[in-house]
Amino acid sequence: MADRFTVLRTNAELRARIAELAAEISRDYENCVTEEHPLLLLCTLRGAVFFAADLARCLTVPAELNFIKVHTYVGKESKLKPEFELGKDIPVKGQRVLILEDIVDTGRTMDCVVRHYYESGADSVEICTMLDKTHARAKGYEKVVPKYAGFEIENEFVVGFGLDCDEKFRLLPDVCVYHSDSEQS
Ligand code: 5GP
Ligand code: MG
């Protein structure tokens, strides 16, 4: 069982990097958010919950936390289409929005989310992701570049620190590359 996981980033490494990101974000937003107009953090469920909880608590600027859920399904014409399950109607008019994401892969989800909140009237929409598979962007989504990224990783399937595989392994403390049983035999 144990050799099905290769630790990629330890919990300590993740937490240290999250503190750095929070300091950078706090510096960047200190002159444009206030108690009346706080930074609006939108955490993607469920993978980003631990990342968001740790990061939000390290910020030194006024911020609010809310949650969104986006599901990607195969639509007509066999195209992959992200669709909001939660958070589509969160009011963002005139607000600074920061999406907190677990991992950016093809870029489809974040492309859809960023467009949606701009269209809903946000002043700015940026992405902060714990992990970025920079080489995995789908054709046409190369311009999905998170402003803040914890770690760039290779195009491998990872679990832990919030990331799951069919709802399993989410609670592992470290981010690990997951080798499924079929890979082993
Ligand atoms: P994208 O729309 O960028 O292709 O996909 C983003 C979503 O796919 C992520 O938010 C995450 O839920 C899922 N995902 C992509 N790569 C991985 C991975 O390596 N491990 C896990 N557990 N989920 C992933
Ligand atoms: Mg996600």
pLDDT tens for 142-151 read: 999 999 999 9
pLDDT at position 184, please? Answer: 54
Is the pLDDT at 74 greater than 80? The verdict is no
Give how far Cα 51 sits from Cα of 1, 56, 115, 162, Å: 26, 8, 23, 8
Residue 80 has a pLDDT of 81
Atom 23 (ligand 1) nearest CA: 163
Report the chain's mean pLDDT, rounded to a whole number. Answer: 94
Query: To test ligand 1's pocket by mutation, which of 72, 151, 163 has the most ligand atoms within 8 angstroms of CB?
Result: 163
Would you state the structure tokens that stand for residue 38, as one six-digit string? 């706080």
In this predicted structure, the answer to whether residue 78 has a pLDDT above a threshold of 70 is no
Edge-first strand listing for the sheet containing 96-104? 80-86, 63-74, 39-44, 96-104, 124-132, 148-152
Fold of the CATH domain 9-155: Rossmann fold (3.40.50)
The yes-or-no verdict on residue 2 having pLDDT over 60 is no
- Please state the rounded mean pLDDT for residues 126-130: 98
Closest ligand to Cα 48: 2
Six token digits for residue 85: 């399950």
Distance 35 CA to ligand 1 centre (A): 33
Least confident range of 25-29, 73-77, 134-138: 73-77
Report the pLDDT value the prediction gives residue 55, as an integer from 0 to 100.
98
Kindly state the helix (H) or strand (E) to which residue 113 belongs, with its residue range.
Answer: helix 108-119
**Nearest ligand 1 atom to alpha carbon 44:** 10
Provide the 3-class DSSP secondary structure of residue 148: strand
Which ligand is the nearest neighbour of the Cα of 133? Answer: 1
Q: Output the residue whose Cα is nearest ligand 1's atom 20.
A: 158
